[in-house]
Structure 1
């Protein structure tokens, strides 16, 4: 059956199911969504659970969108909404999402915009036609989110065509009677970096992640192998989270011809754009060839389809995708694939944390079904036991206190996303409770902007942090202790200031970025301390310093290399990592609602992957493997 025939069949069913007073103008697929255009959306909104019933009967994600002719122009709609919503809501902004027929209303008090039992929302919809979605005003404005929204708005006509094409491909119907499932490992196997995996059935090709090797940016996934060529034979790309070793080379796919969808969570989309643009900017500034240009980042963004946790979505004729919380960084997801009509279920954990942290709840374990699991092994070695988060926090504060006492500075190289915000919350609380002196905490690189994105998605943070922000009136992210470093002159001022301070700067493995300037200046002075709070990959400068190198060569102006003496104290504070340690990895499998039949270990040094696979087999008596890159494993 063609997608046009399928649409015709669905339209007949919908007409049968909806009340006669609802005037259906058209229905069509836009990406994974079945969009029903109606002339009187208010009537649809007043029809109770009709959308839920339709979704259940048709087994599709459904969105009801007003016929564009029934929508008030944005400027006129704004003025009408301002008159309807009481002033005490303190509206700070509007964003008209024509793709979904929604108006996002940013307000200090979104509850007032909703009104008692949603009465104000219904009044808005009847007056302007747009479906209102109130959100809380973020305390720190994110330039990235604003730019992403504006770009998608400007590209709305092109995006509509892209989504229609994607929708037709998803619902093209199945061809083959064969039933099999296999995964080809294109990067990130027995190594950390360039994560990339191809999930295949007779009908579908799904690429999970497409990352760069942060220790060697010239080493990319095996994107030239026959299984994924031509690139446009891929049905979908799924990005588990925004770290560059998982999404850094996504724009390369679009550079070389891929034009399909990219599925990710909303925070992952925004953080991904931020990190990718920074990646090519830093590479260009340091004279390295860039694998893609900003235009390819924009092209990838045009093809993104965001999914919240727990939303089941068709992504090909025989595969449904659901994201679940991974607890690693903001928006990080475990990607669960339901293949066929109950044929097979497989999950890719991406990077995950099976422990509640300052930011997130622990990784999800209750999947409806699970036969195959592909999980990270970053800390899967037999000796990889990390201290508790409480012990880690105590050690960090002790290192800071002792450095302050000798008049030094504490340099914390950190990823802009995840560890920075964890450390910020710990430092804010310690300063507020007088556990360390009230010293400035400088934020350099993308940390401030990444933090702004965190404040825009409070629903992705854990309940403790949301309670602190919304009910206790304490937002750790906007403490006066944090000082933004937004220029080279400010950076030099921080370096030359003799008073103690803490400096959080990117990048986390000392492979470029503003942290390098601090390191060159502070390393020779024994009063200072460098603290590693995240994983240091083999081949990075961070790993060499961690191993105890006392002299390190660094590039300088004119193509020469300077040798920097490392006299500063070197500390590693384990326990802040967003990765699960050996104990947590084993406990994760133990805690799964359903024990998988086959477990594959990836994303770890060779010995870590092998040791974890062996331990899982001995403990749970399930089939395990630690494949090499370019291997293909059949699951069914």
Structure 2
């Protein structure tokens, strides 16, 4: 069936269900959504459950949009006239892609009104669909710039979404039924995550990251299974760490033209980290693999999805994101292939324990035949201490260092570990467990923290309550000081005893190298590792006991400061959690693939899962293809 015929059929079905007096002028596929255009958006707003009924019966994501959206400036005035005083509206973002207006307010409940009455009144007045969020306590420059950029390319995005929508909803033509996965990176190694999910109809790339500390850090993107890149239907991102997202813009440089799916928080964090990655690579006199132009292309073609939203991304594949508990917006990507043919999930990095920031990863799925799980800490002896023990050990290390007049350097990923450590240190000072010294934040940590407060729905309920109801935001503590210039960095190095949280987490460049250069020679100081150090990285070398590390043209750094590794802060599940996760998976899968771990860990975890649960397991190598059905 031609797309035009299918759209006419859908329009007829919609007209059969909408009440008399509501005019449906057009329907169109835009990205994964079916958009209903109407001259009567206010009447649609009066029919509170109509869109839910249409979405259920048509099995599509439905958006209602007026034929002509009111001018944003006029709409903003009307919103302010409808919303009662005292709501504290701080910003409005009009998104022409979705016909939504995002209203940021200090008191969202006042904007919503009792049982949503004020929201419905807003829709009746302006036609735009209102969405209300609480004003972030820390303003994010990244989020603001992303919104401005998306506004500036709204016409190009509309054309792109219509093209993609028609591609997604094309007819299934093949009579063959098979599902294959090709491993393009991240197997028996940590880094350069990339997996190709293929059917006779579709090709989906899951993640596209770099390998920290390696000169061979690019996934195998030239093999015939994936090349040329314009044959890909989509890229699906699990989360924003660079070993999963750094090389997504590179795809656009070499011919990819399709969408990249992620959660909203992953999109914003990925853009922030990709731009920072380019700067770090350029500063190290290496040739950057792409430019900011390709980052913009990725952003222009990004499509965001929330947890639990079942979405068509190809004619025979539906994607659903579930909480992975690893970092802000991190997701387990679940793919439903065909009409009940097969179900496969990719865990990305995940944490099955509760942390200060997030709840544990989802282990319940409607259907599941195969899962790819990380094995970072999959070895038999990879048992992490409890969070409480890890925090006490951190307090002890800080007390020891400050008491002897030294400084503590904590290299950490800008996203995830930094915020976990910040919350721990803030509480330690508040409860007098450690001295009240300055905690300097260098690199992208402050901006990443601002993005955390922009998306509070991803944080665990206790932290949300502390920030938004109790009025005590630990991220805004006076102890935290941003380092945003070389002069301030020099003052920190030469100043009073303090704590420095800085990127990069594996010492593969970034501000941490400046701190090591200035502080590593003094044995009073301490370097504390709180995250995984991959093979080949400077962090792993120092962990192994290197006493001198190269600094390129600047010579080398002598390591005299004390080195400690404090396990328990990692965003990854340890061996016990990994086994518990497999045990709790519901339904239990037929196959488990162990990835994202060194060779020994991946093989050990696969073997243990088979022995305990009698599930077929594989620890694949890169460049292998497995047929699932």
- TM tier, smaller: over 0.9
Q: CA deviation at 1:11?
A: 0.8
Match of 1:514 among 511, 521, 546: 511
Aligned pairs (5 A) from 1:217-616 = 218-497=216-495, 499-555=496-552, 560-616=553-609
* C-alpha distance after superposition, 1:341-368 (max 9, x if no partner): 1111000000000100010000000100
Q: CA deviation at 1:316?
A: 0.6
Moved more, 403-412 or 470-479: 470-479
Give the aligned partner of residue 106 of structure 1: 104
Q: CA deviation at 1:324?
A: 0.2
User: Is 1:119 the equivalent of 2:117?
Assistant: yes
Q: CA deviation at 1:72?
A: 2.6
Q: CA deviation at 1:610?
A: 0.6
Secondary structure of 2:225's partner? Answer: helix
Instruction: Measure, in 2, the Cα distance between the counterparts of 1:132 and 1:566.
Output: 56
Moved more, 18-27 or 608-617: 18-27
Instruction: Measure, in 1, the Cα distance between the counterparts of 2:441 and 2:554.
Output: 27
Instruction: Measure, in 2, the Cα distance between the counterparts of 1:602 and 1:122.
Output: 48
Q: Given that residues 194 and 208 in structure 2 are in contact (C-alpha distance below 8 angstroms), is that contact kept between their aligned partners in structure 1? A: yes
Instruction: Measure, in 2, the Cα distance between the counterparts of 1:32 and 1:438.
Output: 51
RMSD over aligned CA atoms reads 0.9
Unaligned runs of 5+ in 2: none
Q: CA deviation at 1:511?
A: 0.8
User: Is 1:168 the equivalent of 2:163?
Assistant: no
Moved more, 93-102 or 421-430: 93-102
Moved more, 290-299 or 131-140: 131-140
Instruction: Measure, in 2, the Cα distance between the counterparts of 1:223 and 1:96.
Output: 37
Alignment length (residue pairs): 629
Q: Given that residues 533 and 540 in structure 2 are in contact (C-alpha distance below 8 angstroms), is that contact kept between their aligned partners in structure 1? A: yes
Give the aligned partner of residue 62 of structure 1: 62
* C-alpha distance after superposition, 1:450-482 (max 9, x if no partner): 000000000000111111112221111111110
User: Is 1:624 the equivalent of 2:617?
Assistant: yes
* C-alpha distance after superposition, 1:27-73 (max 9, x if no partner): 000001000011111111111311111111111111111121xx331
Q: Given that residues 45 and 123 in structure 2 are in contact (C-alpha distance below 8 angstroms), is that contact kept between their aligned partners in structure 1? A: no
Give the aligned partner of residue 4 of structure 2: 4
* C-alpha distance after superposition, 1:552-595 (max 9, x if no partner): 2212xxxx342221111100000100011111110000011111
Instruction: Measure, in 2, the Cα distance between the counterparts of 1:471 and 1:94.
Output: 22
Q: CA deviation at 1:266?
A: 0.1
Q: CA deviation at 1:123?
A: 1.9
Q: CA deviation at 1:219?
A: 2.4
Instruction: Measure, in 1, the Cα distance between the counterparts of 2:202 and 2:385.
Output: 43
Which TM-score applies when normalising by structure 2? 0.99
Please list every run of at least 4 consecutive aligned residues from structure 1 whose deviation after the TM superposition is greater than 4 angstroms.
none
* C-alpha distance after superposition, 1:374-422 (max 9, x if no partner): 1100110111001011111110111001111101100000000000000
Secondary structure of 2:555's partner? Answer: strand
Match of 2:78 among 74, 77, 80: 80
Give the aligned partner of residue 30 of structure 2: 30
Secondary structure of 1:227's partner? Answer: coil
Instruction: Measure, in 1, the Cα distance between the counterparts of 2:618 and 2:148.
Output: 45
Moved more, 471-480 or 137-146: 471-480
* C-alpha distance after superposition, 1:248-299 (max 9, x if no partner): 1001110011111111000000000000001111111110010000000000
Give the aligned partner of residue 41 of structure 2: 41
Instruction: Measure, in 2, the Cα distance between the counterparts of 1:396 and 1:614.
Output: 34
Q: CA deviation at 1:517?
A: 0.5
* C-alpha distance after superposition, 1:302-338 (max 9, x if no partner): 1110000000000111110000000000000000000
Q: Given that residues 317 and 337 in structure 2 are in contact (C-alpha distance below 8 angstroms), is that contact kept between their aligned partners in structure 1? A: yes
* C-alpha distance after superposition, 1:148-175 (max 9, x if no partner): 1111111110000110010111111101
Moved more, 44-53 or 288-297: 44-53
Secondary structure of 1:601's partner? Answer: strand
Instruction: Measure, in 2, the Cα distance between the counterparts of 1:368 and 1:232.
Output: 32
Give the aligned partner of residue 133 of structure 1: 131
Secondary structure of 1:454's partner? Answer: helix
Instruction: Measure, in 2, the Cα distance between the counterparts of 1:110 and 1:467.
Output: 14
Instruction: Measure, in 1, the Cα distance between the counterparts of 2:435 and 2:546.
Output: 31
User: Is 1:633 the equivalent of 2:626?
Assistant: yes
Instruction: Measure, in 1, the Cα distance between the counterparts of 2:617 and 2:97.
Output: 44
Q: Given that residues 122 and 130 in structure 2 are in contact (C-alpha distance below 8 angstroms), is that contact kept between their aligned partners in structure 1? A: yes
Instruction: Measure, in 2, the Cα distance between the counterparts of 1:470 and 1:261.
Output: 34
Unaligned runs of 5+ in 1: none
Instruction: Measure, in 1, the Cα distance between the counterparts of 2:204 and 2:277.
Output: 25
Secondary structure of 1:395's partner? Answer: helix
Instruction: Measure, in 2, the Cα distance between the counterparts of 1:121 and 1:56.
Output: 23
Instruction: Measure, in 2, the Cα distance between the counterparts of 1:55 and 1:422.
Output: 39
* C-alpha distance after superposition, 1:610-635 (max 9, x if no partner): 11100000010011001110000111
Q: Given that residues 45 and 124 in structure 2 are in contact (C-alpha distance below 8 angstroms), is that contact kept between their aligned partners in structure 1? A: no
Q: CA deviation at 1:217?
A: 5.0
Instruction: Measure, in 1, the Cα distance between the counterparts of 2:442 and 2:251.
Output: 31
* C-alpha distance after superposition, 1:404-457 (max 9, x if no partner): 110110000000000000000111111111111111000000000000000000
Q: Given that residues 325 and 351 in structure 2 are in contact (C-alpha distance below 8 angstroms), is that contact kept between their aligned partners in structure 1? A: yes
